[in-house]
Amino acid sequence: MNPSLRPYLAIAIMALAVYLPFLGAVHLFDWDEINFAESAREMLVSQEYFQVQINYMPFWEKPPLFIWMQAFSMKIFGVNEFAARFPNVINGLLTLLLIFRLGKDYFGSRMAWYWVLAYAGSLTPQLYFKSGIIDPFFNLFIFLSLVMIAKASILEKKQRKKFYFFGGLFLGLALLTKGPASVVIVGLCILTVLALRSFKFYFDWLDILLYCFSTLLVAFAWYGVEFLRHGLWFFQEFIRYQTELASQSVATHGQPWYYHPLVLLFGAFPASVVALRTFGENLTWTDEQKNLRRWMAVLFWVVLIVFSIVKTKIIHYSSLCYLPLTFMAAMVIDSCHVARIQYRRSNVFMILIIGLTLSLAFLAIPSLAGTSLKGWLIDQMKDPFAAANMELPVSWPWFSWIPGALMLFSLLLAIYLLWIQRWRMGFPVLFLGSLFSLQSFLLLDVPRIERYTQGPAIDFFEQLKEKDVYVETLGYKSYAQYFYSQIPQIGDTASYQTYCDSTLYRYVNANTLPGRDIPNQQFKDWLMNGKIDKPAYFVSKITEEKAFATHPNLEVIGRKGGFVFYKRVEASHH
């Protein structure tokens, strides 16, 4: 084997060894994981591969590229959790290989390995590669587009064309993954770098046209086809929904402006704290290295500021910061390695504080849920739904303490090594400890946590799997009833269409987007009040039970944890 390929093979083996095992060991989580997986399942059932659906109705939130990946995975592995998450395993492998290649080309193998270590060993960055959410691919495509532009910006005119072309291709893929936000982020990054360079342009009109052409070439694969199929109607609804996300606070996602800085500080630990040492540093690098660092810093700040401003704040939105953040952490470690900078003890103390907080949180979960303290915890809860779920009989054996103990032990060892300035051992211990702590937490503790959050509802939905029934939630939003019941596509039910036509006036003034919430609400109303053609089942939270207690068509058939289960009575079959 070519010696130059050995690091890539080692990284690929490591990535698969970390991200692949126990991928389907826990149910998908509402909302995002189940949302995308259900859209992929419905693609396979309906054979409608261009218009994303939920409950076989148009879903305006995301373009289909990631859904296509999941649907293809389900074709191979079946409709299950493993298949839904498998595309991000491939993403994790590609991301680690990419950052190693990038780090090696610009800074050398040592820094490249540190970048891989920082990304693979930080908490939420590694977590996302074992998830079924859309953001890892979105982040990777935007990152690649900006890397291409960064490279082109330091090349002569004849050499840079191909980089602009490929940069546009990656932006087109980002557009197909998560929509117009990609154009906004890339555009703001370019404008910011231009401003930092006093608007000394490093492209001409031909470069711009080439970049835009390749972007549109890829984007046409879906946007163009949808325009030809459905005209402007589709774009109006899609753009309208994207605008709503940015300009309004979606329920349960309205957070303070400092939400994302806190999410990154704790979620991307240890890289987040290590990277703090770079701010304000003026290290001696080549022009190429300075150029890459400039683009990484700009990407980090643009993403952080933009998503701190938008009204809807979701933890995934700042995940694009992981790539530049781990890059900066790797630069700090590499600089310490060659004694270019002195890692201050104040920085080590910061690692200790954040690390102790997370270690104690890992230890607190089995300590509170699996001991006599559980009763005290339930008494402190103000939410009856959460309190009822906590009363579920979930076993917490002694080994559920391993993740927290492992994190605490590796943290203290790393702090000792860093305190005595043994950088070459201290940083690897810190990141590897974080890596194995989170992986053991995902295996040993997360399945037990999932039982509290959604376990009884998932069990109920799975009991109805492949049965000829309807199933819906009442009073709360969920996608689990569709995926875990594997509902068939509703046929040409004349009574449902008649009901929709007769009740449409009730929703004309509703504060919702036409074609999104309205049909789903009509469908639920029909299941509860209309002339249905097969049995219908429902789930609500106990906090909503009073709202449906007097409904003449609903019969309570069970309760478990914080959930109540109903059946539609006196259904008319025909």
Whether residues 437 and 480 fall in one domain: no
pLDDT value of residue 244:
64
**What's the mean pLDDT when you consider all of the chain?**
87
Number of alpha carbons in the 13 Å side-chain half-sphere of residue 401 = 9
Asked if pLDDT for residue 574 goes beyond 50, the answer is: no
- In this predicted structure, what is the pLDDT of residue 445? 95
Are residues 399 and 548 both part of a single domain?
no
Confidence check: pLDDT of 351 > 80: yes
Token pair 């090594």: residue: 417
Confidence of residue 337 (pLDDT cuts 50, 70, 90): confident
Whether 493 maps to a domain, the answer reads yes
Q: Which stretch of 95-104, 150-159, 556-565 has the lowest confidence by average pLDDT?
A: 150-159
Which pTM does this prediction carry?
Answer: 0.91
CA distance 38 to 461: 14
CA distance 186 to 201: 16
Whether residue 104 is found in the same domain as residue 186 = yes
Same domain, 64 and 116: yes
**How would residue 498 be classed by pLDDT, with cut points 50, 70 and 90?**
low
pLDDT at 447: 95
Task: Please report which confidence band the pLDDT of residue 508 belongs to, taking 50, 70 and 90 as the band edges.
Answer: very low
* Cβ count near 138 (within 10 Å): 28
What are the angstrom distances between the C-alpha of 6 and each of 9, 13, 120, 121? 5, 11, 18, 21
For residues 133 and 316, the answer to whether their CB atoms sit within 8 Å is yes
Confidence of residue 514 (pLDDT cuts 50, 70, 90): very low
Bridge partners of residue 474, in order along the sequence: 540
Q: Which of 274-283, 431-440, 492-501, 531-540 has the highest average model confidence (pLDDT)?
A: 431-440
**In the numeric block, which tokens belong to residue 493?**
């039910």
pLDDT of residue 51: 84
Mean pLDDT of 196-218: 86
Nearest CA to 295 out of 149, 175, 184, 155 is that of: 149
Q: Which domain holds residue 370?
A: 348-453
Query: Final residue of a domain: which of 290, 324, 341?
Result: 341
pLDDT at residue 509 greater than cutoff 50: no
Lowest mean pLDDT among 51-55, 185-189, 324-328, 451-455: 51-55
The per-residue pLDDT for 223 is 84
For residue 282, pLDDT beyond 60: no
For 188-212, what is the mean pLDDT?
87
Whether residue 324 sits in one domain with residue 388: no
Higher-confidence residue of 374 and 389: namely 389
Q: How many domains does the chain have?
A: 3
Residue 167, pLDDT > 70, answer yes
Asked if 466 and 572 touch (Cβ cutoff 8 Å), the reply is no
Q: Name which of 190-204, 258-272, 498-512 the model is least confident about.
A: 498-512
End-to-end CA distance of the chain: 68
Q: Is 573 inside any structural domain? A: no
Reported as a single tens digit per residue, the pLDDT across 14-38 is 999 999 999 999 999 988 899 999 9
Q: Is residue 149 part of a domain?
A: yes
Over 60: is that where the pLDDT of 504 sits? no
Residue 8 above 70 pLDDT? Answer: yes
Q: Are residues 220 and 162 located together in one domain of the fold? A: yes
User: 537: helix, coil or strand?
Assistant: strand
Residues 114, 254 within the same domain: yes
Closest CA to 221 of 54, 49, 353: 49
Q: Are residues 333 and 355 in the same domain?
A: no
Structure tokens at 81: 């959790």
* Whether pLDDT at 122 is above 90: yes
Q: Evaluate whether 482 touches 55 at the Cβ level (below 8 Å).
A: yes
Same domain, yes or no: 366 and 510: no
In a domain, 308, yes or no: yes
Q: What percent of the chain has pLDDT over 70?
A: 89
Residue 375 has pLDDT above 70, yes or no: yes
Residues 6+ apart with CB under 8 A from 279: none
Q: Is 574 inside any structural domain?
A: no
Whether the predicted pLDDT of 202 surpasses 80: no
Is residue 339 predicted with pLDDT exceeding 80? no
Q: How many angstroms separate the CA atoms of 414 and 448, rounded? A: 29
Average pLDDT over residues 492-509: 54
Question: Is 486 in the same domain as 435?
Answer: no
Pick 165 or 1 by higher pLDDT.
165
- For residue 208, is it within any domain? yes
Beta pairing partners, 554: 568
Q: Per residue, what are the HEC states of 68-100?
A: HHHHHHHHHHCCCHHHHHHHHHHHHHHHHHHHH
Q: What is the mean pLDDT of residues 335-350?
A: 84
Residues 307 and 362 in one domain: no
Whether 477 is covered by a domain: the verdict is: yes
Cβ-count burial of 147 within 10 angstroms (0-12 exposed, 13-18 middle, 19+ buried)? buried
Tens of pLDDT along 435-491?
999 999 999 999 999 999 999 999 999 999 988 899 999 988 899 999 999 988 776
Q: Indicate if the alpha-carbon torsion angle 135, 136, 137, 139 is positive or negative.
A: positive
User: Poorest-confidence range of 109-113, 260-264, 333-337?
Assistant: 333-337
Give the model's pLDDT for residue 405: 97
- Predicted confidence band of residue 275 (pLDDT cuts 50, 70, 90): very high
Share of the chain above pLDDT 90, in %: 61
Q: Residue 385 corresponds to which tokens in the numbers above?
A: 């739904």
**Among 341, 374, 398, where does a domain finish?**
341
Residue 251: pLDDT above 70?
A: no
Q: Supply the pLDDT for residue 495.
A: 63
Domain endpoint, select from 389, 420, 453 = 453
Decide if 539 contacts 559 (C-beta within 8 A).
Answer: no
Q: Mean pLDDT: which of 92-96, 372-376, 422-426, 509-513 is highest?
A: 92-96
Predicted local confidence at residue 179, as pLDDT: 87
Q: What's the confidence (pLDDT) of residue 248?
A: 57
The reported pLDDT for the residue numbered 30 is 82
Which amino acid, 417? L
Residue of 282, 287, 268, 279 whose CA lies nearest to 351: 268
* Pair 355, 411: CB distance under 8 Å: yes
pLDDT band at 515 (very low <50, low <70, confident <90, very high): very low
The answer as to whether 305 is a domain residue is yes
What does the pLDDT average to over 403-422?
Answer: 95
Residues 120 and 171 in one domain: yes
Q: How confident is the model at residue 494 (pLDDT cuts 50, 70, 90)?
A: low
| 42-88 tens-digit pLDDT | 999 999 888 888 888 878 778 999 999 999 999 999 999 999 999 99
